[in-house]
Amino acid sequence: MTSTVTVFVKLYATLTKYAGVIIMEEPMQVDVPEGSTLSDLYTRLRIPDDEVKTAFVNSAMQPPEYELRDGDHVGIFPPVGGGAC
C-alpha cells in the first residue's frame, strides 16, 4: 500500500473551471500518492499542461517536476499579466 500526501490547492483565473467553480476563495484538499509531482497533480485535476504557466508551492515558484510534500500549499496559474500603466 502506497502512502499518500495531502496538499492544498488553489486554481486561479481561467483554471478555476477545472474545479467547477468561478472563484476559489478557499483551497481544496487533494490527496496524492507519495512521490507525485506538480505535473501529476495537473493530470489528476485534468488541467492540460499547456494551460499552466506558473505554479507556486508555499509561495515559491516551482517547475512541473517538483515533488509534492505533505501540507504543501499550491497555487496554479494560467498566463497572466497586468499592472497599471
Among 14, 17, 34, 43, binds other proteins (CB under 8 A): 14
Residue 34, C-alpha cell as written in the block = 507519495
CA distance 36 to 74: 13
Sequence-distant (≥ 6) Cβ neighbours of residue 77 within 8 angstroms: 12, 13, 15, 52, 53, 54, 55, 56
| Selected binder of other proteins within 5, 18, 56, 67 (CB under 8 A) | 56
Q: Applying CB under 8 A, which part among 1-9, 21-29, 30-38, 40-48 lies near other proteins?
A: 21-29
Instruction: Based on the shown chain and the rule CB under 8 A, indicate whether residue 62 belongs to the binding site for other proteins.
Output: no
Binding part of the chain for other proteins, among 1-9, 36-44, 64-72, 74-82 by CB under 8 A, reads 74-82
